Structure 1
Amino acid sequence: MKEHSMHRNKVIRLGITYFILILMTLIVLYPLAWTVGASFNPGNSLVSTTLIPKNPTFAHYIALTQTTATFHYFSWFWNSIKISIATMVLSVIFVSMTAYAFSRFHFVGRKNGLTMFLLLQMIPQFSALIAIFVLAQMLGLVNSHLLLILIYTGGQIPMSTYLMKGYFDSIPQDLDESARIDGASNTRIFLQILMPLARPMVAVVAMNGFTGPLGDFAISSVILRDPKAYTLPIGLYNLITEKMGASYTTFAAGAILISVPVAIVFLMLQRNFVTGLTEGGTKG
């Protein structure tokens, strides 16, 4: 009787777990399905849009290839990808080095530096928009993608450094000492020992560095004023705010295409995520 009751409770818990997972999956996929459906629906309005188009068309995807004085979709696409890749690479480099210094070395201001990183996360980015615009004007970097890359990279450093430092702290320092006995320098220890072991966290930092710029509108809209220099968030936003000619279905098509690079990057990094989870489970 007791075993039957335990089995029933296990089945109930398992059923509740699957119900929650299915519900969360539907919540995530439903808006995506509507976006995909809208991108194939004829017309420009969402009023007549259906989840499954009755007369599907590729007209909105074809419209993305057309260039006008204010519409440069693939230029915006390339600008976003270029900024995201550069931010991802620089974020991984600077965050890794900063986290290594905070994790393995003791220096004056170390504790205060970590506290400052935490405090910086409490300040919303949009609160610095005026300062960023003034800085861009002073440096002559309005419409500059380089300034955006530096801002995005700087924004990634505080919290990502704190997260990666915690991961480095979980790696035994005995490995460092053993390598030093064999004559390894700090640089070699960092590159050949810590970085390979920290691949899961490196993948997280890389993913955040890539996806962050793709979703930013506030900072990029302050710096970028030339339509050809826009990133996708600005260009697509302007596409649906035009009083005459707003096209929500073309917006949906453009949004679907930008999700392709994100999916590719995630698939490239997925192995590191899975490896980190399995290694963590093995160690535990």
Structure 2
Amino acid sequence: MDKVKKHRRKMSTKERIKDILAYIGIYAVLIVTAIAILYPVVWVIGASFNQGSSLASATAIPSHPTLNNYKRLFAETDYERWYLNTLAIAVVNMVVSVVLVGTMGYVFARLKFAGKKVGLLTILILQMFPSFMGMIAIYVLFLNFGLLNQPLALVLIYSAGQIPYNTWLIKGYLKNVSKSMDEAAMIDGASKLQIYTKIILPLMFPILTFVAITQFMAPWFDYILPSFLISSTHKKTLAIGLYDLINSQTNKNFTMFAAGAVLVAVPITILYLFLQRYLIEGLSAGANKE
């Protein structure tokens, strides 16, 4: 009996050591990953407060911080105009996308109709092709419809381009919502529209929040499509305007560029903080809601 107890103690000690080493390994990986992600962000923020225009001499913690880069950004460029243009595109894109994919996700998840499987397969195949593959066709199409150099063109592309992925996302989310609620509402005389607006839509709020945030973020970081479709100076988006600050050998406004990049993160961060709880619920959409 004593030998058995000693063996069990040894085993438990080994297991504890293994658990401790596992925790150390996990936290080490998390710390290294956090440093790798946060250091560039901290460095860019610090560079925006550095004196001069070169990033070579910039430091993460400036010795003599200054707001001069932010002042020059608004005084010497049309940054405010670029910011408002991008914000308007982002908000409209977010609203249009939520309405479109929310409706389509409900239709494919709840309703039965001819061609449903073909439609799902079609939008799945469309998702495999990136939007820039059709840029020439998009350019010709928008040229014929007079949509070149129009912010509306970007909204159409952003909102339509993510319909396949977001539709499948919402459809998968609604699969975990019991259909008994729909049936009970129909017995009470509710129409399909009333079921969607009064029952399903409130339950979809977490996943629609996730869609809203991702669609809101898209225009802030995209350079290819705006540079391809927008040519007027007063209609530029932030990505085009900021890139022009460092685009040539004579333009060396790198610290001003860093200041503009920091301000880009402000609306996204605010939106994320306010909707963080719903965003997490949307990301963990596999939970059963029956």
Residue by residue over 1:180-207, the C-alpha shift from the partner in whole angstroms, topping out at 9 and shown as x without a partner, is 1111111111122212212221111111
Paired AA for residue 255 in structure 1: A
| Structure 1 unaligned spans of 5+ | none
* Number of the residue aligned with 1:253: 259
Paired AA for residue 117 in structure 1: I
SS of the residue corresponding to residue 241 of structure 1 reads coil
2:45 aligned residue (36, 46, 52): 36
1:241 aligned residue (220, 240, 247): 247
Q: Using the alignment, how far apart are the partners of 1:137 and 1:278 within structure 2? A: 42
Q: Give the direction of change, closer, same or farther, for the CA distance of 1:276–1:128 in structure 2 (3 Å limit).
A: closer
Residues 1-284 of structure 1: matches in 2 within 5 Å? 1=9, 2-67=11-76, 71-275=77-281
Q: Give the direction of change, closer, same or farther, for the CA distance of 1:106–1:282 in structure 2 (3 Å limit).
A: closer
Pairwise CA RMSD of aligned residues? Answer: 1.9
Q: Using the alignment, how far apart are the partners of 2:283 and 2:89 within structure 1? A: 30
TM-score (norm 1): 0.93
| Structure 2 unaligned spans of 5+ | 1-8
Deviates most, 92-101 or 50-59: 50-59
Deviates most, 77-86 or 20-29: 20-29
Q: Give the direction of change, closer, same or farther, for the CA distance of 1:102–1:275 in structure 2 (3 Å limit).
A: closer
Percent identity, please: 40
Residue by residue over 1:214-247, the C-alpha shift from the partner in whole angstroms, topping out at 9 and shown as x without a partner, is 1111111111101110000011111111321321
Residue by residue over 1:134-186, the C-alpha shift from the partner in whole angstroms, topping out at 9 and shown as x without a partner, is 22221222221111111111012110001111101111111110111111111
Q: Using the alignment, how far apart are the partners of 1:240 and 1:278 within structure 2? A: 40
Q: Give the direction of change, closer, same or farther, for the CA distance of 1:46–1:278 in structure 2 (3 Å limit).
A: closer
> How many residues are matched?
281
Q: Using the alignment, how far apart are the partners of 2:61 and 2:12 within structure 1? A: 48
